[in-house]
Structure 1
Amino acid sequence: MSVHFDKVKGYLLELGFDIKHEDQKEELFIIDSEDDGIVNLVVDCEDPILVIEMMLFDINTPSQDMFKELLIKNREIVHGAFALNEEGNKLLFRDTLQLENLDLNELEGSINALSLLMGEYYQKLLEFAKN
């Protein structure tokens, strides 16, 4: 187990997140904060970076208009961005941070950006997911 794994775990606990699952071998956590719109957020120590990723919805009917709107919204997101999985059929939120100098405020800011995004943009994401 790396020092980064322990540090990230300590930060997550200090921030009050519910760690639903942790895998020491893979050095990842799955956390929830349903009040903040965060469900099954993967926090993965992939030295030298920390990957923060949450699947938002399956893309059943892709459209140019949807992708255009998501890319425009990316410009407003404080940390992280919308992304697609390798197959292009799932919309994700993804952010990466440097592990070497990661601090509590930086991790909190990244997760808060996701929470803010979910609060502000939830209805539109639901519309996209239903199509």
Structure 2
Amino acid sequence: MDIKEKIESFMIDMDIGFQEIDEDTWRIEDDLSQMDNIIVKISEPVIVFRVKVMSIPEENKECFYRKLLELNASDLLHGAYAIEGNNVVIVDTLQAENLDMNEFQATIESIGLALVEHYDVLCKA
């Protein structure tokens, strides 16, 4: 089984909705599990996970950036918060060569949990 087939089988086994964007990229669209708009992309030798969290606020940026760094250090199990243009994103990578269902699922669930738990905290920062 190639890496593309493996990733698709993981998402099917996890019973999450997804859409193929191109040959090596998918968008997870699963509103019920709070895992909406997560992009999964094969970029050998890694699999990249990315989701836009929010736009960077116009005010109190220093406090906001500090909160992002604190959440990176303490609460984000997989991946990290990053800045992409004017947006805050969560990004993570896994090795494609030895990708297994447990790490794939843990990454997706960790990102989903961070979106649920951190969004309000970041909006108030």
TM-score normalised by length of structure 2: 0.89
Could you tell me which residue of structure 2 aligns to residue 116 of structure 1? Answer: 113
Once residues 33 and 79 of structure 2 are traced to their aligned partners in structure 1, the CA distance between those partners, rounded to angstroms, is: 16
Q: Identity across aligned pairs (percent)?
A: 25
Query: How much is the aligned-residue C-alpha RMSD, in angstroms?
Result: 1.7
Could you tell me which residue of structure 2 aligns to residue 71 of structure 1? Answer: 69
Does residue 1:18 correspond to 2:17, yes or no?
Answer: yes
1:104 maps to a residue whose letter is: M
Does residue 1:91 correspond to 2:88, yes or no?
Answer: yes
Gaps in structure 2 of 5+ consecutive residues: none
Once residues 119 and 57 of structure 1 are traced to their aligned partners in structure 2, the CA distance between those partners, rounded to angstroms, is: 12
2:66 maps to a residue whose letter is: K
Once residues 19 and 35 of structure 1 are traced to their aligned partners in structure 2, the CA distance between those partners, rounded to angstroms, is: 13
Could you tell me which residue of structure 1 aligns to residue 2 of structure 2? Answer: 3
Cα-to-partner distance string for 1:58-92 (whole Å, 9 max, x where unaligned): 2241611100111000112111111111x3x1100
Once residues 126 and 60 of structure 1 are traced to their aligned partners in structure 2, the CA distance between those partners, rounded to angstroms, is: 8
Contact 1:5 1:28 in 2 (8 A): no
| Aligned structure 1 segments of 4 or more residues deviating by more than 3 angstroms | 125-128
TM-score normalised by length of structure 1: 0.85
Deviates more, 1:45-54 or 1:35-44: 35-44
Aligned 1:31-70 pairs, distance under 5 A: 31-61=28-58, 63-70=61-68
Does residue 1:125 correspond to 2:122, yes or no?
Answer: yes
DSSP-derived class of the 2:70 partner = helix
Contact 1:37 1:115 in 2 (8 A): yes
DSSP-derived class of the 2:37 partner = strand
Cα-to-partner distance string for 1:25-74 (whole Å, 9 max, x where unaligned): xx010112212322211000001000000011122416111001110001
Shift of residue 13, structure 1, vs aligned partner = 1.1
Gaps in structure 1 of 5+ consecutive residues: none
1:71 maps to a residue whose letter is: L
